[in-house]
Amino acid sequence: MAERQIGIVMHGVTGRMGMNQHLIRSILAICKQGGVALSNGDRLMPKPLIVGRNPDKMERLAKAHGIARWTSDLDEALADASCPIFFDAGTTQMRAELLTRAIKAGKHVYCEKPISDNLQDALAVARLANSEGVKHGVVQDKLFLPGLLKMKRLIDAGFFGRLLSVRGEFGYWVFEGDLEPAQRPSWNYKSAEGGGIILDMLCHWRYVLDNLFGGVKAVSCMGATHIAERWDEAGRRYDADADDAAYASFELEGGVIAQINSSWCVRVRRDDLVTFQADGVKGSAVAGLTRCWTQDRVNTPKPVWNPDEPQTLDFNSTWAEVPDRSPAENGFKLQWEMFLRHVAEDAPWQYGLMEGAKGVQLAELGLKSWRERKWFDVPALEA
């Protein structure tokens, strides 16, 4: 068994998602475990080169985590021949340009979603990656959540029979910033900076629906800016003009109807910050981030509507939990390992930039649906 090293230029890792999920819990965790196992028995060891505009931030981050290489010069990083991969978790508005630069520099590229704030640029960068022959991918982390992996296991086993509908509830209360500091960055609530929950979350729901429940054929979406006044990281008041809630319906292949509510203005009284309920003729299931419950047809209770008497059925107790098959792994880390194997030995990979473009397409149609108050078909995209 031999150790092989692979350098990765990592941009945007001073932000919450880039630092916690990608740098610390994925790449550094892979290093700590001794690399990624390849099919021939070798271990592939990632060597991050972190890059950002603020040299003081980069130096502090590198020292805090024992990272040998950092720079504030992106051109220098892209010219480094020891780093065949470029990763971006920066702002959405910069992403297409950064990916384009990296692809033209001959790098394989991997990035957070959305891959762009508009479909035209998303398609252009995906097609450029294909034409340049580089390997490419987009983060689709929710497919690797333990709860949704259990839901996928049920689907593959035929548990539902004919699937009828899917209901998703996502969100939590994001504080405005005056009473309590906000849990999300202020740019999320500013249209001029690429904010808005429709662009953010419909990109997620596209790959979840496509990969689990059926390809998305049509969309209807209503957005809202429920809270128009917020306070930023420095305590300054600002006008929040981006959508902070979205109420969307989707027609899926096979006649399945999906409804997903997304909100940063909702208080949680459910099992998790996101839950998906799938109902089929033979059974139903509800999945959260890590857990999943089922109710079979023969175990379904038979309630009777009677508003004059208090409800006596404990509905939650009639569901059975799907057991864990193995210890839960971080979903971002799992997908990173898959991409690294894809680059190193051409292992199977299905999450290319065109999948990211599909997410941007659905978000654009969702915004258009809100503006025009109409349903829109979702046409196939050509690579």
pTM, whole model, 2 decimals? 0.95
Residues with Cβ < 8 Å from 346, sequence gap 6 or more?
none
Residue 256: CB atoms within 10 A of its CB come to: 22
Which H/E stretch holds residue 367? helix 353-372
| CA–CA gap between residue 136 and residue 110 (Å, rounded) | 6
Burial degree of 77 (CB within 10 A; 0-12, 13-18, 19+): buried
Query: 3-state class of 293 per DSSP?
Result: strand
Pick 142-327+361-372's CATH classification: 3.30.360.10, 3.30.70.3340, 1.10.510.10, 1.20.210.10: 3.30.360.10
Q: How confident is the model at residue 382 (pLDDT cuts 50, 70, 90)?
A: confident
Burial degree of 354 (CB within 10 A; 0-12, 13-18, 19+): buried
Phi, psi of 347 (to 5 degrees): -65, 155
Pick 3-141+331-352's CATH classification: 3.40.50.720, 3.30.420.10, 3.40.50.740, 3.30.365.10: 3.40.50.720
Instruction: Tally the C-alpha atoms within 13 A of residue 266's C-alpha that lie toward its C-beta.
Output: 19
213, 369 in Cβ contact below 8 A? no
Q: Report how far Cα 342 is from the mean position of its chain's Cα atoms.
A: 20
Residue 110: CB atoms within 10 A of its CB come to: 28
pLDDT of residue 368: 98
Q: Report how far Cα 42 is from the mean position of its chain's Cα atoms.
A: 30
* Each residue's pLDDT tens digit, 151-181: 999 999 999 999 999 999 999 999 999 999 9
Same topology for domains 3-141+331-352 and 142-327+361-372, yes or no?
no
| CA–CA gap between residue 264 and residue 247 (Å, rounded) | 12
pLDDT of residue 209: 98
* Each residue's pLDDT tens digit, 256-297: 999 999 999 999 999 999 999 999 999 999 999 999 999 999
Q: What is the rounded average pLDDT of the residues 206-230?
A: 98
Residue with tokens 């404990």: 314
| CA–CA gap between residue 263 and residue 245 (Å, rounded) | 4
Nearest to residue 28, comparing CAs of 70, 2, 62?
A: 62
Portion of the chain with pLDDT greater than 90, in percent: 96
